[in-house]
Chain A
Amino acid sequence: MSASTHQTETLARFAPSAARRRRDTLARRIVMAGTILALIPLVLILYYLVHKGIGAWSPSFFTSDPTGNTFFGGSKIGGVKSAILGTIEMVALAAAISIPIGIGVAVWLVEYGRDSWFAHTVRFFIDVMTGVPSIVFGLFVYIVLIVGTGSSYAGYKGSIALALLMLPIVTRSAEVVLLLVPNGLRESALALGAPRWRVIGRVVLPTALPGMLTGMLLAVARAAGETAPLLFTAAAANATTLNLRAFMNSLPVQIYNDITKPTDAVVERAWGAALTLVLMILILNMVARLLARRNRLA
C-alpha cells in the first residue's frame, strides 16, 4: 500500500458523513433565507422612498415654507423648510436635555449605584420607560405643560416630550458601554491617587465615548422620526421659526398632515419629506461614526 493511499484512508476518518453534509447545507440555507427575507422590506422601503420622494425635490422644496394651500398643485403648495429646521431645532434641544441627564444616570448606575436596591429600582423604571408608547410622552407633556399651565403649544414642549422618549435609550446604552470599560483602567487610575470623579471624567468616559455615541445617535434618530409626541405639544406651523416658544413645524408632523390630503402634489411632498428625514439621519449617523473613529486611538 502506497503512502498516498494510506493518507487518503487516514483523512477519510475525518470526512463528514453525507447526512451531516445535508444537515449543514440545509441549516445554512435556512439562515440565508431568513436574512434575505429580512432584507426585502428594508430594500423596498428605501426603493419606494427614493422612487416616490425624489420627484418632489427641487431647490424650492428645501428653501420655501409650506404655504398652507393644499388644494392646488405645483409650486403653490411650498416646500418643507420650516419642517426641516423645526425638526433640527427640537431634536437638538431634546438631545441637549436628555444626553447629559442620561449619561449622568448611567454613570451613577455603573460607578456608584452598582447593585444597590435603589439602582435596581432606577433600572426597572428605565426599562418601563423604554416600553412606554411615544404618544404617552406627548400626552404627559400636553397635560402638564399645556393644559396644566393653561398655555399653548410650543417647540420646547415638543422637545421635552422627545427628551423623555430619548432618556431611557441614552441611559441604557450608555450603561452597557460603561460596563464594558475594563475595571483595570478604573483601578489603575484610582491607584495613581486620582479622585473618583476625575477617574470617571478623564479615563472612563473618554474610553466609553465611541460606544456611547452610538447610543446617543440611536436616540436622536428615534426622536427625529417621532410624530406622536409632537402632535399636541409643538403642533404644526407653516412658517419657519427660531423661537422655541412658538408653534413649530417638524418633518414627521408635516408628513402626517400631507399624506392625508387629496392633492397628488401634497402627497408627493410627504414622500419628499420622508426621504429628506431618512437622509438627514443617515448623514448624522455617518458623521458620528467618523468622529468616533477619529477619537478611538489605534
Chain B
Amino acid sequence: MTLPPDPGSKVAEMDPEGRPEVHRSEAPPAAGPADAPAGNARQRITGETAPIPEPQPEAGPAAAPAVQLEGLRAYYGDSMQLKGIDLEFRANEVTAIIGPSGCGKSTLIRCINRMHEEIPGARAEGRVLLEGADVYDPSVDVVAVRRAIGMVFQKPNPFPTMSVFDNVAAGLRLTARRRENLNGKVEEALRGAGLWDEVSDRLGQPGIGLSGGQQQRLCIARSLAVNPEVILMDEPCSALDPIATLKIEELIDELKQRVTIVIVTHNMQQAARVADRTAFMLSGELVEVGPTETIFTKPSDPRTEEYVTGKFG
C-alpha cells in the first residue's frame, strides 16, 4: 500500500496504481484496477481503532486529517448551487477542483469551512466530515471549524491597517490563542509560507506594501499561523503573475506535508502541476474525481474529456 505523503516525492508523482474513484453512478469506471479505497481505510481507522503506525513527515507534527463530503447541497435562497456532492479529500494530499465558471467550485470549498453561510440567504445541507466529525453538527462551534480549516482567497487581502508582522499575528490575536512566543510563531509561519527571507527586515512595514505574490504568501502565512489541519485555496493564483504563481505552487507542494489542501483553480495546467487528485465539476454536480493524471489523460466521463481538452469551458 503506497500512501502519501512521501516527503521526498514531487508533486506530479501519481499513486502508481492510479486508482480512479467514481462517485456518480452514471459515470462508468475508468481503466485501472477496481476501486480500492485504501486511503479511506486509513482515515476511517484513525478515530476508531488503535492508531496504525505511519511515517511521520519531518515537516509536520502529525498527519493532517481527511475531509469527506456526504450528500452536500448548497443553496442561495431557493436556487440549489450544489446538487448533492459526495467527495473525499485525502489526508496530506492536494486535491484540485476544476470546472467552468459558475459550476460551484468556490461554493463547494466555502461549504467546507462554513464560510458559505456568511452570505445572506445562503445555506448548506448534508455532511462535511473532518476526521469523522460533522462540521455541520448543531453542537459544533463554527469558529472552531474555521480555526481547523484555513482559507486563502482569490484576491490577496492582507489587513490594510496592519504591518507584515501584525498580519501574521492577526490569526493568533483574533482567535485569542496563547500569545507566548508570538515572534517565534510569526517567524515560523512566514518561513512556512516561504516569505521570511524576503520580509524579515521589514516586518514593521504595512502588509499591503508587498508585491501581489508576496501578499498572497503573507495571506498563506496568516492562515498557517493558527495551525490549521486543512487549507482551502480559492483560485489563489488567479491574480498573480507566472513567477509568483510558481512560488505559490512550490509552496503548496511543501505544505501538503503538514496539511490537507483543497485548491480551486481555473487553470488546468495548474491542477496538473500541483494536485495529487483532481475533481471535475459541472453545473453543481461532481462529474468525476481521480488521480490527476487519470483525469487529464484517460478520464472516464466524456464531459471531463471535453473540458480538459478545451472543447468547452
B150:A114 contact, CB within 8 angstroms? no
Q: Which of the 9-residue segments B10-18, B129-137, B151-159, B260-268 touches chain A?
A: B151-159
| Max chain B Cβ within 10 angstroms of own Cβ: one of A193, A199, A207 | A193
Whether A192 contacts B175 by the Cβ 8 Å rule is yes
Partner pick for B161 among A186, A192, A206, CB 8 A cutoff: A206
Inter-chain contact B175/A188, CB cutoff 8 Å: no
On whether the beta carbons of A193 and B147 are closer than 8 Å, the reply is: yes
Bound CA span A297–B120, Å: 31
B146→A298 contact, CB < 8 A? no
A159-B145 Cα distance, complex, nearest whole Å: 47
Q: Whole-angstrom distance between the alpha carbons of A209 and B162 in the complex?
A: 13
Is B171 a contact of A182 with CB atoms below 8 Å?
no
Q: How far is the CA of A198 from the CA of B143 in the complex (A)?
A: 11
Determine whether the beta carbon of A297 is less than 8 Å from that of B143: no
0/1 interface trace, chain A 163-203, chain B, CB 8 Å (1 if under): 00000000000000000001011111111111100110011
- Provide the bound-state CA to CA distance between A182 and B158, in Å: 11
* Interface residue? B174 (CB, 8 A): yes
Contacts of B174 in A (CB 8 A): 189, 192-194, 198-199, 202-203
Interface SS of A by simple majority: helix
Measured CB to CB, the closest approach of chain A to B46, in angstroms, equals 22
Option from B155, B175, B209, B226 in Cβ contact (under 8 Å) with A298: B209
* CB neighbors of B among A199-221 (8 A): 199, 202-203, 206-207, 209
| A295 within 8 Å of B (CB atoms) | yes
B208 in the interface, Cβ–Cβ < 8 Å? Answer: yes
CB atoms of B170 and A192 under 8 A apart? yes
A115 to B119, CA, bound (A): 12
- CB < 8 Å: which of B120, B146, B155, B163 contacts A192? B146
Q: Report yes or no: A298 in contact with B208, Cβ–Cβ below 8 A.
A: yes
Q: Which residues of A contact B171 (CB under 8 A)?
A: 192-193
The chain A residue sitting closest to B162, CB to CB, is A297
CB contacts (< 8 Å) of A297 on chain B: these are 160-163, 206, 208-209
Q: Which residue of B lies closest to A191 (CB)?
A: B151
By a CB distance below 8 angstroms, the chain B residues around A114 are: 120
User: Which of the four size classes fits the interface of chain B?
Assistant: 20 to 34
A188 touches B153 (CB 8 A): yes
The answer for the CA separation of A194 and B113 in the assembled complex, in Å, is 13
Q: Which residues of A contact B144 (CB under 8 A)?
A: 193
Query: Which of chain B's residues have a CB closer than 8 A to the CB of A206?
Result: 161
Confirm or deny: B182 has a beta carbon within 8 angstroms of a beta carbon on chain A. no
What are the residues of chain A within 8 A of B223 when measuring CB–CB? 191-192
Chain A residues with CB below 8 A from B143, complex form: 193-195
- Among B61-78, those with CB < 8 Å from A are none
Q: Which of B146, B150, B159 contacts A185 (CB 8 A)?
A: B159
* Most chain B C-beta atoms within 10 Å of own C-beta, residue among A187, A191, A202, A203: A191
Closest to B121 in A: A115
Q: Is B124 at the interface (CB under 8 A from chain A)? A: no
List 24 contacting pairs A-B, 8 Å CB cutoff, sorted by A: A114-B120, A182-B157, A184-B153, A187-B115, A188-B153, A188-B159, A190-B115, A190-B118, A191-B115, A192-B170, A192-B175, A192-B223, A193-B143, A193-B175, A193-B226, A194-B175, A195-B143, A198-B174, A199-B174, A203-B174, A295-B161, A297-B160, A297-B161, A298-B160
User: Which residues of chain A have a CB within 8 Å of any CB of chain B?
Assistant: 114-115, 182, 184-195, 198-199, 202-203, 206-207, 209, 295-298
Query: Would you list the 6 A-B pairs with minimal beta carbon distance, nearest first?
Result: A193-B147, A194-B174, A297-B206, A191-B151, A193-B146, A184-B157
Sample of 6 further A-B pairs with CB below 8 A, known A184-B157, A192-B146: A188-B159, A191-B146, A192-B147, A193-B146, A193-B147, A194-B143
